């Protein structure tokens, strides 16, 4: 029974290898057909010239050294020079062509991977650490290029060289050729066994190296926290363990890969030694031509190199295919939230938002929102407050369709957001998160991400409205100042004002603010609040906040408690409600306007 299972496993692995190869060639073969034709033509020249050098040795020995033919003394050296010249140029061009094809393949799959990753739902990134994902992609993306190049070069150069050289050997001496070829089967059997062990070790090594790189990246990103909490030693120990494990896997791969060397060299050496001894004996005892013997031995020695590379091909191909397989695992991951086949663009007329009996949980059996219903009137501001974990930010996420509601529906101007394209939905929304995110590029580039076609004047106007121009102008290059990683050279309040400027320049009819002023000092908060009040006009605004100053002027305030809407109304209505949650919130902030969100949350729960 166990043997049957092993056979099935081996068969399934062979089937996987075949499917991967078919897919790689199907995706890239037609596109790079002519470049590969030229590369193969160059490799054929390399193979043919290699065989020609072995074949011509008989005439060199017999014609020049035995028969002393003066004509051949000129012709044969010139022919050998031309052969090496042709071989050199062919090697150069095949190397350049294959390098260009390989670089194009890597770039193509990098673009394809990024496009696919951006189409995946938030759930995928919640389950996969971003740093580890980036590290894995960096290691795996070359797998498809290596698979193609290994296959093409092995067939067009190594296999053809071996075939041509074996042809020369058989032409010179069939009997000795048979003796030399006896080394092939035992080497092939041994290589097949090593390839099976290599696949598992390679996947483990890739995963471990990805974890090492991601751990280092996370430590670099959080270096301020690392130093503040004196976490250097624990992190050193943790990363050291990962590095040790990765080193052990790499050493195992090296041992498996190089294990073919001693066996290959021993078997090949035995075959070559036997051939030389037997051919020498025949030349001494029976007077066989030294030219034929020398040509045969030259062909045999030249054939050893391509034969050795072909013997290691399966091992190298296994490593490349493991990388390719892990790339396809990501590319084959289907987005959980796909547009419906009949999805239409969202047409925003007024911007009225309705939640109708919406329930949602991030995990099975969990209810973050429980059958909530409310309307955010068009052109008005709706504020949401409540304890942490009460579902406030979840409402923002559902409205953007980062997740889909489990029950109920969400509409904008009467259109169910599941019936419209996600692209058109999000194009009508400007979003300011609690934790601002900045990207590679200049300050102007980061603001322009809100609307790529925005001109410099629009960028500057948005910055002034967000009160960001005052610190931007003090930067070394102003709006053209490159930002460090996530704007590390800026304060939290400055990063948030750039995030708000990005939302302003988007000029969308719906504005979502998720604790947008939480990172600002009192002065900055006042300035930004003025800016937000300016841009709210005519827009439907949903504000998630703890600070009373950001919500007192809202047209509607909702208090979330345990995934439900506990209270709703205007500030004046709610503050006069005896014993209400909002009234307690208001009382707390009027006693101490510097109260922390945690204290507010405990008061709301209280």
For residue 358, pLDDT over 90 is answered with yes
Rg (CA), the chain: 35
Estimate the crossing angle of helix 160-172 against helix 33-59, to 10 degrees: 20
Helix (H) and strand (E) counts for the chain?
Answer: 23, 10
**What percentage of residues in the chain have a pLDDT greater than 70?**
90
Rounded CA gap, 235 and 253, in Å?
27
Q: Tell whether the model's pLDDT for residue 2 goes beyond 70.
A: no
pLDDT tens track for 369-410 = 999 999 999 999 999 998 777 888 899 999 999 999 999 999
Positive or negative, the CA dihedral 163, 165, 171, 176 is negative
DSSP assignment, residue 222? T
| 16-331 fold | ABC transporter transmembrane region fold (1.20.1560)
pLDDT the model gives residue 371: 92
Comparing CA positions, the residue from 279, 269, 278 lying closest to residue 301 is 269
For residue 348, pLDDT over 90 is answered with: yes
How far apart are the C-alpha atoms of 157 and 48, rounded to whole Å? 9
Per mean pLDDT, which range of 195-204, 297-306, 361-370 is the poorest? 195-204
DSSP 35-89: HHHHHHHHHHHHHHHHHHHHHHHHHIIIIIIIS--HHHHHHHHHHHHHHHHHHHH
Reported as a pLDDT band with limits 50, 70 and 90, residue 89 is very high
Q: CA-to-CA distance for 135 and 325, rounded, in angstroms?
A: 16
Instruction: Kindly give, in sequence order, each residue whose CB lies less than 8 Å from that of residue 521, ignoring residues fewer than 6 positions away.
Output: 493
User: What are the CA-CA distances from residue 597 to residues 244, 518, 521, 545, 556 (Å)?
Assistant: 43, 10, 15, 9, 21
Alpha-carbon dihedral sign for residues 499, 505, 508, 511: positive
pLDDT of residue 522: 72
Average pLDDT over residues 84-107: 91
CA atoms within 13 A on the CB side of 131: 14
CA distance 191 to 195: 6
| Nearest-angstrom CA–CA distance, 6 and 130 | 36
Cα–Cα distance, 149 to 203 (Å, whole number): 21
Q: What share of the chain is helix, strand, coil (3-state, %, to 5)?
A: 65, 10, 25
Of 94, 79, 100, the C-alpha closest to 45 is: 94
Three-state secondary structure call for residue 208? helix
Confidence of residue 133 (pLDDT cuts 50, 70, 90): confident
Domain limits, CATH 1.20.1560.10, in the chain: 16-331
Residues 291, 62: contact at Cβ < 8 Å? yes
| Beta strands 556-561; 564-569: pairing state | antiparallel
Whether residue 594 has pLDDT greater than 50 = no
The pLDDT-based confidence of 316 (bands split at 50, 70, 90) is: confident
Report the alpha-carbon distance of residue 280 to residue 289 in Å, rounded.
10
**Sheet with 353-360: strands ordered across:** 369-376, 353-360, 407-412, 415-416
267-281 pLDDT, tens digit each: 777 777 877 787 777
Contact (CB, 8 A) for 69 and 63:
yes
* 417: pLDDT strictly greater than 90: yes
Phi, psi of 291 (to 5 degrees): -65, -45
Q: How many CB atoms lie within 10 A of CB 388?
A: 14
Cβ neighbors of 484 (< 8 A, separation 6 or more) are none
Confidence band (pLDDT; 50, 70, 90) for 6? very low
pLDDT on residue 93 = 94
Give the strand order in the sheet containing 556-561. Answer: 429-432, 510-514, 540-544, 381-386, 556-561, 564-569
CA–centroid distance for 245 within its chain: 23
Note if the pTM is more than 0.85.
no
pLDDT at 3 > cutoff 70? no
Instruction: Report the mean per-residue pLDDT for the chain.
Output: 82
SS3 for 562-598 is: CCEEEEEECHHHHHCCCCCHHHHHHHHHHHCCCCCHH
pLDDT at 599: 44
Q: What is the pLDDT of residue 510?
A: 95
* CA dist list (Å): 377 to 21, 159, 373, 512: 56, 73, 13, 14
> What's the pLDDT at 1?
43
How far apart CA 25 and CA 523 sit, in angstroms, is 61
* Under 8 Å between Cβ of 338 and 172: no
What tokens does 240 get? 């050291």
SS3 assignment, position 442 = strand
- Residue 575 has φ and ψ, to the nearest 5°, of -70, -25
DSSP state, residue 483: P
DSSP string, 257-272: HHTHHHHHHHHHHHHH
Specify the CATH superfamily of domain 348-428+543-606: P-loop containing nucleotide triphosphate hydrolases (3.40.50.300)
**Burial code of 305-340, b = ≥16 C-beta within 10 A, e = fewer?**
ebbbbbbbbbbbbbbbbbbbbbbbebeeeeeeeebe
Please give the Cα distance from 529 to 381 (Å, whole number): 13
How far apart, in whole angstroms, are the C-alpha atoms of residue 521 and residue 517? 8
SS3 at position 312: helix
183 pLDDT exceeds 80? no
pLDDT reported for residue 12:
63
Q: What is the pLDDT of residue 267?
A: 72
Higher pLDDT: 413 or 146? It is: 413
Find, among 138, 127, 139, 129, the residue nearest to 218 by Cα. 129
Q: For residue 466, what are the contacts with CB-CB under 8 A and spacing of at least 6?
A: 497, 498, 500, 501, 504, 528, 531
pLDDT at 377: 93
What is the biggest distance separating any 2 CA atoms in the chain, rounded to whole angstroms? 121
pLDDT value for 10:
55
The residue with greater pLDDT, 226 or 600, is 226
44: number of Cβ within 10 Å: 17
Q: Which residues pair with 360 in a beta bridge?
A: 369
Q: Evaluate if residue 596 carries a pLDDT over 70.
A: no
pLDDT at 598 over 60: no
Burial class (CB in 10 A: 0-12, 13-18, 19+), 569: middle
Strands 381-386 and 540-544: parallel
């Amino acid at each position: 029974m166990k043997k049957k299972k092993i056979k099935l496993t081996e068969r399934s692995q062979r089937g996987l290898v075949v499917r991967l190869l078919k897919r790689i060639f199907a995706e890239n073969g037609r596109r790079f057909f002519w470049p590969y034709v030229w590369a193969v033509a160059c490799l054929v020249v390399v193979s043919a010239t290699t065989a020609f050098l072995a074949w011509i040795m008989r005439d060199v020995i017999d014609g020049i050294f035995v028969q002393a033919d003066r004509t051949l003394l000129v012709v044969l050296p010139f022919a050998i020079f031309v052969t090496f010249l042709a071989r050199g140029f062919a090697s150069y061009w095949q190397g350049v062509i294959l390098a260009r094809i390989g670089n194009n393949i890597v770039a193509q799959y990098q673009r394809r991977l990024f496009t696919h990753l951006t189409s995946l739902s938030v759930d995928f990134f919640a389950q996969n650490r971003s740093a580890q994902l980036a590290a894995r992609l960096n290691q795996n993306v070359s797998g498809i290029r290596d698979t193609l190049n290994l296959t093409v070069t092995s067939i067009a150069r190594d296999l053809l060289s071996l075939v041509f050289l074996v042809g020369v050997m058989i032409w010179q001496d069939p009997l000795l050729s048979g003796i030399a070829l006896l080394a092939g089967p035992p080497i092939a059997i041994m290589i097949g066994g090593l390839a099976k062990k290599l696949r598992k070790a390679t996947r483990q090594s890739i995963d471990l190296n990805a974890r090492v790189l991601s751990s280092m990246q996370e430590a670099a990103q959080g270096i301020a926290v690392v130093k503040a909490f004196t976490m250097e030693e624990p992190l050193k120990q943790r990363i050291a363990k990962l590095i040790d494990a990765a080193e052990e896997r790499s050493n195992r791969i090296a041992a498996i890969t190089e294990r073919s060397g001693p066996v290959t060299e021993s078997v090949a050496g035995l075959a070559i030694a036997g051939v030389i001894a037997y051919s020498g004996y025949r030349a001494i005892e029976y007077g066989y031509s030294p030219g034929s013997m020398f040509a045969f031995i030259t062909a045999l020695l030249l054939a050893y190199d391509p034969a050795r590379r072909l013997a290691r091909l399966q091992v190298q191909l296994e490593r490349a295919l493991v990388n390719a397989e892990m790339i396809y695992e990501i590319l084959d991951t289907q987005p959980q939230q796909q547009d419906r086949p009949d999805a239409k663009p969202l047409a925003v007329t007024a911007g009225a938002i309705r939640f109708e009996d919406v329930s949602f949980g991030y995990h099975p059996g969990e209810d973050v929102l429980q059958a909530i219903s409310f309307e955010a009137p068009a052109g008005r501001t709706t504020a949401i407050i409540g304890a942490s974990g009460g579902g406030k930010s979840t409402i923002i996420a559902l409205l953007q369709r980062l997740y889909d509601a489990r029950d109920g529906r969400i509409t904008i101007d009467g259109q169910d957001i599941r019936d419209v394209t996600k692209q058109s939905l999000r194009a009508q929304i400007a979003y300011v998160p609690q934790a601002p995110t900045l990207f590679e590029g200049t300050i102007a580039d980061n603001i322009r991400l809100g609307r790529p076609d925005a001109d410099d004047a629009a960028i500057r106007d948005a910055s002034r409205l967000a009160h960001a121009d005052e610190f931007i102008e003090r930067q070394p290059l102003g709006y053209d100042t490159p930002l460090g990683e996530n704007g590390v050279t800026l304060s939290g309040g400055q990063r948030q004002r750039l995030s708000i400027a990005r939302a302003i320049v988007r000029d969308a009819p719906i504005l979502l603010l998720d604790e947008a002023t939480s990172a600002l000092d009192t002065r900055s908060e006042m300035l930004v609040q003025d800016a937000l009040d300016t841009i709210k006009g005519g827009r439907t605004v949903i504000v998630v906040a703890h600070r009373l100053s950001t919500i007192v002027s809202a047209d509607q305030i909702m208090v979330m408690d345990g995934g439900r809407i506990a209270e709703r109304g205007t500030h004046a209505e709610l503050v006069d409600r005896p014993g209400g949650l909002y009234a307690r919130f208001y009382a707390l902030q009027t006693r101490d306007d510097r109260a922390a969100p945690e204290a507010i949350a405990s008061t709301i729960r209280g």
